Amino acid sequence: MKNYLLKVENLKVSVEDSNILNGVNLTIDDNSVCALMGPNGSGKSTLAQVIMGHSGYEITSGNILLEGKSLLKMSPDKRAGLGIFLSFQYPSEIPGVSIPSYLRMIYNKRFDTSISPVKFRKILQEKMKLLDMKDSILERYLNEGFSGGEKKKMEILQMLVLEPKLVILDETDSGLDIDAIKVVSKAVNYLLKEKNATVLLITHYSRILKYIEPNKVYILREGRIVQEGGRGVVHELEEKGYSPFGD
């Protein structure tokens, strides 16, 4: 039987005494794709933030296990050090921070090394080819003046540089045209195949799932998992919408 990478057990989360997650249970197998779907306000992004260790949420019960080890007492940087990567819905602009310097810094920290700028640039250019990114973007500051699509691509470039064990994509497909979705999917599938990554893909829509094939699909409504299954859940969702699930 295949071992799981991530397990969420009866997770209950609140913010300012308002319950957001109401006993979430899910399991993600190693080197697989898990799609988490649901309408706005269902708690999808909250779950992603809590897995990453965001301090603004209160966990009132439950557990989050990575390879059998609880993450609850670990800081976000410790979780990142274990190989967890979260792609944000709205990446921040950081004026004055050069892209190559920033990416080399996180690469050195992730792999506990001290690679030279020249050697790292070669690694970076190889990753950029997967995203059809031009070298000229390296002359800019991190996300400063970037379009929404450029910011998303930059997040995916960071993902490729870090080669995480667990990739959490929080509505990465939001606002992207079909060509950009194909490019992002190519990068994710590269990590799945070449680096044995595991992916938690959070999305409203099924279109990205045509390019990143899910092994398991969960539907979240009002802070609870109301449906679990395979690809067939996506097809049912396309036909009927979210209304039949959880009623």
Minimal CA–CA distance to 175: which of 72, 57, 94, 91? 91
Domain chopping of the chain, boundaries: 4-240
pLDDT in tens, the chain (247 residues): 458 999 999 999 999 889 999 999 999 999 999 999 998 899 999 999 999 999 999 999 999 999 999 999 999 999 999 999 998 767 778 889 999 999 999 999 999 999 999 999 999 999 999 888 889 988 998 988 888 888 888 899 999 999 999 999 998 888 788 988 998 999 999 999 999 999 999 998 889 999 999 999 999 999 999 999 998 998 888 888 887 776 5
Q: Which of 50, 80, 77, 78 is nearest to 64 (CA)?
A: 50
Q: Mark 187-219 as b/e (b = at least 16 C-beta within 10 Å).
A: bbbebbeeeebbbbbbbbebebbebbebbbbbb
Do 35 and 218 contact (CB within 8 A), yes or no? yes
Number of other residues whose CB lies within 10 A of the CB of residue 92: 8
The fold of the 4-240 domain, in CATH, is Rossmann fold (3.40.50)
The rounded distance, in Å, linking the Cα atoms of 17 and 112 is: 40
Element (H, E) at 59: strand 58-66
φ, ψ of residue 185 in degrees (nearest 5): -65, -35
Count Cα atoms within 13 angstroms, Cβ side, for 146. Answer: 24
Position 176 scores a pLDDT of: 84
Torsional sign, CA 103, 184, 166, 75? positive
Q: Tell me phi and psi for residue 191, to 5 degrees.
A: -65, -40
